[in-house]
A and B are shown apart, each in its own frame.
Chain A
C-alpha cells in the first residue's frame, strides 16, 4: 500500500512535463521539423525556477496566491484518481465531485490572479475561461453520472479502476460517446487547439495563456508545471475508460498506464497538427457538442 502510494505520487510529480514534451515533439515531426528535446519542458521549468520575478505594482497577494493554490489543487486532485493501480490513495463515496470542484477552485484563483493585474487582456482571458467552464462542467457531470450508473459506484476508483475490456464491449456505445465528449473537454480544460493555442502569444484568441501573461520567474514555472499535471490527471480519467486493461500484475498495469498516457499525448499532438484553432464564437458549439454527446451517453445507459 505504501509503495503504491509512493509510486502514484512519483508518477503524478515526475511524469507530467514529459507529456508536454511528447505533444511538442509530435507536432514538430508532423510539421517536418525535428523539434525540441523531449525533456525540454523540464529544462524550461528548471530555468524559470532560477529566475528573478517582476511583479506589477498593481498586484496584491492574490496575484501570488493564484499559482500556489492551483498547484496545491492539481496535486491534491492527483491523489483522488487511480493511475493504473487498483486504487487511488484517497477513495470515498463522491470523490469525483471533490475532484471536479477542486479544479473549479484552481480556476477561481487563476482568474482572480489575472484580474489582479488590472490588464484588459487578462480580463478578456479570464472572462473566456469562466464562460467556457460553464459549458464544460455539465458535460463532466453527465459522464460521471453515466459511469456511476454503469459501475454502481460513487467514487473515481470504483468507476474507473475495475473496468475490463468486456465492459467496453458490452457498453460500447455509451462509452464511446463519453470518450468523445471527454476528449473534447480535456482539450478545452487544458487549453489546447482547437480551443486555445498554448504556443501563441496572440492575445486576441487566447484563453489560458493570456491570464498568465504577467507571471514570471518561479511562479510562472509553477504555472507551467501545474498545467502539465492537470493534463496528466484529466488524461487519466480518459485512459481508464479507453483502455480498461487490468492484468492483475501491478508493474504491468503501471507500464500500460504510462504508455497510454504517452499515446494520449501523441493523439493530442496529432489533433493539434491536423486542426486549426476554432474561431472564438464557434467554441461554445463544440463544447455543446461534448455536453450533448455525454448526455446521450447517459441516456443510453439509463434506457
Chain B
C-alpha cells in the first residue's frame, strides 16, 4: 500500500484506501460462521467507512481538477499496470462509494443473518468486491487490467444477484446475465485488441490522440458502443437487465441499476474521449439509440406489474436520457460548438449521478416494501403509506425525482440535456438542426410517460386501501434500512434545490472528457441558469409551505367530517374495486401495442348469473423473446455438429490443451 501511495495526494489515497476497505469488507464474515450476523455488521461498517472516505476523496479530486496516476508492480506481459484518477473517474466514483455504503448498511436490516442463514456471508463478500472492482474499473489505465477488473465486477454481481439460487427464476435470470455480460466482454476484447493495433500498447491512449476517420476507429467505436452498451442496458442490448434486477436482492438491484450500469456509460464516455473530432454519424447513432432506449424503455416499464421489473425498465429509460446527452455532446464536438458539447456532456454526467441516487433510493424503497409485504406484485399491495410512512415518503421523493420534475435533482440534469438540444437547434443551420431538435420532444414524451408510470406505482402500491393480501404485521424496516433511504432522498432534494453547488463538479468532469472545453469560453454557470432555477424552486417550496399552513388551518377551523370515498351511490365500496396497475396502464399499453406486444387473457362473462371470470395482462420482454431467442436457437441448430468436440472425456480434453500449447509454442518461435 505505501509503495502505491508514494507521491500521491491525499484525495487519491482516500480513494485507494476506500477501495481496499470495500474489497476486504466481506472477508471477516467468511470466518465468523459460528456467529451469524457479526460478519455482516463488520462488512456494513467497512463499506460505510469506504463510502465516507471514497466520496470525500472523489469530491476533493473534482474540485482540484487534476489527474493523478500510480503504477502497480505487476509482471504480466501486458504493459504497465497503471491506475489513475482524473475528474472523469472521480464523478463515477461518487455513486460507487455512496451507493455502496448505503447498500451495505441496508443489507443488515434487509437480509439479516438471522433469517438468511449462510447466504449472508456470500452476499456481503460479493457486495464488497463489487464496489472495489467498480472503483478499479474507473481507475484502470491499462486494457488488460481493465478487462480483469471488469470481469471481477461482472462475476461479483453475478454471484451477488444469484444468492437465492434455489429459485428457478433467479437461476434463469443469472444465466441470461452471464451470457449477456460475456458477449459484451467479448466485444471489449475486440475493442482493446484494435486499440493495441492503433496505439501499439495496452495502455489507454491519451485524450484526443486517435484519428476517428480510419476503419479501425469505426470498429473500436462500434465495439465499445455495443460492448459497453450491453452493460449499460442500452436498447436493444438490454435483454439481461429486467430479469436480473428483478430477481436480485433489493440492495444488489440498487447497486446494479444505480451504479453498475454506469460503468457501461463510463466506458463509452472514456473511449469517445480518445478520439479527436469524430464524424457526425457517431453522435447521431448514440442519440438515436438514446431516444429508442428512453422511449421504449419507459413504455415497457408502464406495462409491468412487478415493482422491481418496472424499476429495471426505468433504468433503460434513464440510460437512454444519458445517451441522448452524450450524443448531443458528440454532435456539438463535430460541429465545433463548445456550448453544445459542454451542456450535453454535463447533462449526461449529472444524470448519471442523479440516476444513481434516485434509482438506488427507489430500489431500496421497493426492498422495504417487499420486506413488509413479501410480494413484488404491485396489484397485491395498496395502502402501504399508512404502515410504511417513511418508506412511502422516500419513495415519493424518488418518484418525483426520476420523473425529472422540479424541484428535485432529476429535473436539473434533464434540463441540461434539453438546453443542449435547444442550443444545438439554434446553433446549426441546414438539415443538421433537425437532429438535436428530435431529442427535445422525445425527452418530453419520456418525461410524461415516466409520470404516468410513477403515479401508477406510487398510487397503486402506497395509496388507497390494502388489496387482497394484507398482513397485520406489515411494518417499517429498522434504522439500518431507513437511514440509507433518507440519506439518498436528502441528496435528491439537495441537488434539486442547490444545483449551482454541484455544477462545478460536473463541469470539471466534462473538461476532463474534452480538454478543449476548458480552453473555450463555455462555462456552465453562464450557459445554464442554475441559480434562477434554484430561486424558482425555492419560491415554489415556500409557496407550498405557506399555502399548506394557511389553507389547512382554514380547513381545520371550519370543521372536518370523515366519510367513505364517494363512489357514485355504491353502498359498500371494497378495496377490490380500486384501479390496478394493469387497468391504469391499459390505455397507454394499447396505444403502444405495436412495440410492446402485450398479452391479455380473459374469460368472457356470459348469462344472467355469470360464473367467476378472470382477467390478466402481461407485457413480455419482446426483444429477448422474439428476436434474440429465435436467433440463438437458429445458431444452436447450425453449430450443433461442433458439440462433438465437447463430449466429457477428460483425457481428450487434456490432449486438446497439449495440442494448443504445442502449436502456440511453434507459432511464437516461427
A residues with a Cβ closer than 8 A to B are 49-60, 62, 64-65, 67-69, 71-73, 75-76, 79-80, 90, 92-95, 97-98, 100-102, 104-105, 107-108, 111-112, 114-121, 123-124, 126-128, 130-131, 133-134, 136-138, 140-142, 144-145, 148-149, 152, 154, 203, 213-214, 217-219, 222, 284, 295, 298, 302
Contact = CB atoms under 8 A, between A and B. Distances in A.
Contact of A127 (B425, B544, B586): B586
Contacts of B577: 120
Nearest to B429: A302
A57 B386 CA distance: 12
Interface stretch (B36-44, B257-265, B398-406, B613-621): B398-406
Interface in B563-595: 563-568, 573, 575, 577-579, 583-588, 591
B559 interface: yes
A137 B440 contact: no
Nearest to B432: A302
B465 interface: yes
B59 interface: no
A145 B437 contact: yes
A118 B434 contact: no
A56 B464 CA distance: 10
Given A53-B558, A101-B405, A115 B455 contact: yes
Nearest to A59: B565
Given A60-B386, A214-B566, A73 B540 contact: yes
Contacts of B437: 145, 298, 302
B583 A72 contact: no
Interface string B626-655: 000000000000000000000000000000
Contacts of B551: 67-68, 218-219, 222
B30 interface: no
B559 A52 contact: yes
Given A58-B465, A71-B547, A126-B584, A49 B562 contact: no
B566 A55 contact: no
B558 A217 contact: yes
Nearest to B467: A118
B565 A98 contact: no
8 contacts: A53-B561, A60-B385, A76-B540, A93-B528, A98-B533, A121-B567, A138-B442, A218-B555
Contacts of A79: 536, 539
Given A102-B406, A123-B584, A302 B434 contact: yes
A119 B528 contact: no
- Across the A-B interface, give the 5 residue pairs with the lowest CB-CB distance, nearest first: A123-B579, A115-B459, A118-B464, A130-B452, A92-B529
B566 A123 contact: no
A140 B444 contact: yes
Interface string B384-423: 0110000000001001100111100001000100110011
A81 to B, nearest CB: 12
B448 A52 contact: no
A171 to B, nearest CB: 15
Question: In this complex, which of B460, B528, B558 has the most chain A Cβ atoms within 10 angstroms of its Cβ?
Answer: B558
Contacts of A52: 558-561
Contacts of A54: 560-563
A51 B540 contact: no
B17 interface: no
Contacts of B552: 64, 68
B547 A68 contact: yes
Given A75-B543, A126-B584, A62 B463 contact: yes
Contacts of A124: 579, 583
B460 A149 contact: no
A219 B558 CA distance: 12
Contact of A108 (B455, B585, B588): B455
